[in-house]
Amino acid sequence: MSAERLGGSFDLLAAWQPGGVFVDHEGIGVATGPGRWVAAQEAIAALADAPEGAVASGALPFEGSGSLLIGDSQVRRSDPFVTARIGKPVAPTLVTGVIPAEAFRQAALATVPPSSFYEGAVAEASRRVRAGELRKVVLARTIEVDAERELDPRRLAHRLRAVDPHAYTFIAPAGDGALVGASPELLVSRHGVEVRANPLAGSAARAGDPATDRANAERLGASAKDREEHAVVVEAVAATLQPLCESLTWDPEPVLQETPNVWHLSTRFRGRLREPAPTALDLARALHPTPAVGGAPSNAALATIAQLEGFDRGAYAGPVGWVDADGNGDWAIALRCARLNGDRATLYAGAGIVGASDPAAELEETERKFGAFLDALRWG
C-alpha cells in the first residue's frame, strides 16, 4: 500500500521503533520508541516530569493493573472523535475462501482449548446462564502457528491497517514479543470534558454477494440472542459513565457496524464529563472489563472464564491506547490480535455466550475470526 493512501497512519507507523508502542485510528494516535516503563496507576504523575507532549501508552493486561511506556522518541497526531463508519453497504474483504479452514488447523502447533473442548465450555457456560448464575460470558480460544519466517510487527500492522483502515491498529510490547492487532472496538476516548465510547457485541458473517450480505446484517439486527448479548454491554457502559457525566446520550437501538469480515451490533455513547474530569486512563480502567470481553455479572463471568477457558489471556481483550499529561487519550480493546515471537504467532478469538448460544455456531465464529487474521499474517 502506498504512503499516499495510508497518509497519517503511514507517518505514525514509519515513526514506530521496535520496543515502542504504535496505536492508530485513521492516522490519529501515537508512535514511540523504547523508553521507561511506569505502573499504570502512576502514569499521569510520571508524565508530569516527562518532556512536553509525552504520552504513556501500551497494552494493559486483561486482569491486573499492568504498566505503560513513556517512549524516548514520540510522534503524536491528535484530531479527536473521528466517527467510525456505521452500516455502509461496502464490499467486504472476505478471506474465508482464500485459505481453507483445514489449512489453518494444519498450520496450528497448538490450539487451546481444542475445538471439542471449546464447544463443551460453551455448552456449560450457556447452561449456567439459563440457570441464572450469570447473564453473559465471553469465552476465547488461542492457536499458535509457525509462520516459517521471522514475523515483522510493522509489516503485519501495515497489512492490517490496509485491510481495515477504520480499525484501531496497534503494536505493543508483550513479554519477549509484540502484540499486534486491528481492533474494531473503542473502549473510551476522552478529550477535554468530552467522552465517547462505542461497545460492540453480537456479530454475523459478511458475504460477497450484496443481497446475502444485507440479509445477514438484517438477521443480526433482528436476532433476540445477539440483541440480548449487546444489551448487557450497553447497560454496563451506561452504568459506569452516567455518574461521571453531566450529560450522556447513546443510540436508543443498536446500529449495524461493518468490518471487512464481520457485521457487529454497535452503540455509540457521547457525553460531557463532570469536573474535575477523570483521565482517559481512569475511564478505561473503570470500564474494563466490559461485558463485551468479560461478561455479567463481572465477578461470576471472570470466575467462569478462569474455570472454562484454559489459558492466560495476557493483554488479549485488555485496554490498548494512550494518555497524555492532561488526561486526554484514546483506548481501544485489544481484539483481532496476535502475539508475535520470532517465527511463532499466538492468535486469539472469542465469542459472547448467552442462554441461547449454540456451541457449533460459537466455534464457527472463532474460526472465522482466526481466518481473517491468518490471511493478514500470511501476507503481512
Where residue 16 sits, what CATH number does that domain have? 3.60.120.10
**pLDDT at 272 (0 to 100):** 98
How far, CA to CA in Å, does 350 sit from each of 106, 172, 267, 296?
20, 20, 20, 16
Question: For the chain, which ranges sit under pLDDT 50?
Answer: 1-6, 80-101, 103-104
**pLDDT at 97 (0 to 100):** 34
| Number of domains within the chain | 1
Q: Which amino acid is it at 113?
A: P
Verify whether residue 185 is a known catalytic residue. yes
Residue 91 within any structural domain of the chain:
no
**pLDDT at 98 (0 to 100):** 36
**pLDDT at 79 (0 to 100):** 53
**pLDDT at 373 (0 to 100):** 86
Whole-number Å distance between alpha carbons of 311 and 286: 24
Whole-number Å distance between alpha carbons of 22 and 322: 9
Q: At what angle do helices 115-130 and 359-379 cross, to 10 degrees?
A: 130
Residue 309 within any structural domain of the chain:
yes
Beta-bridge partner residues of 337: 181
**pLDDT at 26 (0 to 100):** 85
**pLDDT at 5 (0 to 100):** 41
Choose the catalytic residue: 26, 136, 258, 309: 136
Cα atoms in the Cβ-side hemisphere of radius 13 Å centred on 47: 23
Sorted by sequence, the CB contacts under 8 Å of residue 265 that are 6+ apart come out as 200, 201, 202, 203, 220, 221, 226, 227, 229, 230, 254, 255, 256, 257
DSSP 131-178: TTS-SEEEEEEEEEEE-SS---HHHHHHHHHHH-TTSEEEEEEETTEE
**pLDDT at 11 (0 to 100):** 84
Verify whether residue 136 is a known catalytic residue. yes
74-77/329-333 β-pairing: unpaired
**pLDDT at 379 (0 to 100):** 62
Residue 87 within any structural domain of the chain:
no
**pLDDT at 229 (0 to 100):** 94
Choose the catalytic residue: 52, 144, 150, 185: 185
Q: Containing domain of residue 250, as a range?
A: 3-78+97-379
